[in-house]
Amino acid sequence: MAVLYLSEAKRGAVFQAAFAQELPDLPFHIATAPDPAAVEYMVTWTAPTDLSQWPNLRLIFSVGAGIDQFDLAALPPHVGVVRMQEPGIMRQMQEMAVMSTLALHRDLPVYLDQGRKGVWRARQNRSTADCRVGVMGLGRLGQAVLQALRPFGFRLAGWSRSPKDLAGIDVFTDLDRFLAQTDILICLLPLTRQTRDILNDDLFDLLPRDARLVHLGRGAQLNMQALQRALDRGLASAFLDVTDPEPLPPDHWAWAHPRVIITPHVASQTDAGMGATHVIAGIRADRAGAEIPGLIDRARGY
């Protein structure tokens, strides 16, 4: 039994030190393993194309919160995939969601554009009590973001394909009704076949005029051309932490748009130490026959 780490070597050294302290009986290898047949656990961002050289592989741990970089259909059915759930990811996502939501609520894109032009012009402030914030995706991150937004007094709602009971949150399974009652839309969906290109012309047409978009999910969920058309038709502004492609070409229209703010996929970054703790907990759970934190449902894709 051994662990094989196939991601950034600097972070791998942090993982290796943590394993030496917490699981000294479990060999931890970076880049290569002397005995591939001993490898039961892999820590990586992307899976190698051919996993046959590790015939006893049981679990693949993603070093990031997402797992859409894996071709799940190509992985052997007996290999489980575990998403990163170290607590720092959730806290950082809460920070980013609060920052971006407040930025759009208080018209920061407009003021930044005015500042570049040397224009001093105040807009009318709106009360948070009159602003409806809706989160698409009510998993751990979506629910955490809603909790972080509570103190500001926004009217909060969420959309999920399956019913959920969240205290103080209006939960919708009807996407059209949800969108019609959303002034600031936050996308935190996982990337699946169903959510790819979901932020499209049809969706933007269902939002109220002067709505705003915060996109913190995955780049491939947003149709960039549809966003441009929506901004032309009345979407007030957009805050994008993810795009398609990543990075955007330097001459892409979105960089220069006066009502778009772009950050380079930095909403959450895995802390190596806490990431190692999460993986160690998962391996301990697996060895004990217990539930593995972050183990995805392969059929659902998340």
What is the token pair recorded at 297?
Answer: 């449902």
Continuous segment of H or E residues that includes residue 104: helix 87-105
Q: Which residues contact 180 (CB under 8 A, 6 or more apart)?
A: 206, 207, 208
| Residue of 83, 212, 215, 218 marked active site | 218
Residues 77 and 165 in one domain: no
Separation between Cα atoms, residue 131 and residue 240, nearest integer Å: 20
Residues 101 and 249 in one domain: yes
pLDDT of residue 203: 98
Per-residue pLDDT reduced to its tens digit, 84-137: 999 899 999 999 999 999 999 999 999 999 999 999 999 999 999 999 999 999
- pLDDT above 90: residue 300: no
- The dihedral over CA atoms of 95, 101, 102, 107, expressed in degrees to the nearest 10, equals 140
What is the residue range of 14's domain?
Answer: 2-86+270-288
Outline where DSSP puts E strands in 21-162: 28-30, 39-44, 59-62, 80-82, 132-136, 155-159
Residues 278 and 185 in one domain: no
CATH code of residue 94:
3.40.50.720
Residues 284 and 255 in one domain: no
- pLDDT above 90: residue 301: no
Per-residue pLDDT reduced to its tens digit, 14-42: 999 999 999 999 999 999 999 999 999 99
| Residue of 106, 265, 284, 287 marked active site | 265
What is the token pair recorded at 126?
Answer: 């709106």
Residue 257 known to be catalytic: no
Residues 71 and 95 in one domain: no
Residue 239 three-state SS: strand
DSSP at 130: G
- The label of the residue with tokens 């909790």 reads 147
- pLDDT above 90: residue 278: yes
Instruction: Please report which confidence band the pLDDT of residue 54 belongs to, taking 50, 70 and 90 as the band edges.
Output: very high
Residues 41 and 176 in one domain: no
What is the token pair recorded at 110?
Answer: 């407009």
pLDDT of residue 104: 98
- pLDDT above 90: residue 164: yes
Residues 243 and 110 in one domain: yes
* Phi, then psi, of 143 in degrees rounded to 5: -65, -35
Contact call for residues 164 and 152 (beta carbons, < 8 A): no
Residue 265 known to be catalytic: yes
Residue 296 domain flag: no
Separation between Cα atoms, residue 268 and residue 89, nearest integer Å: 5
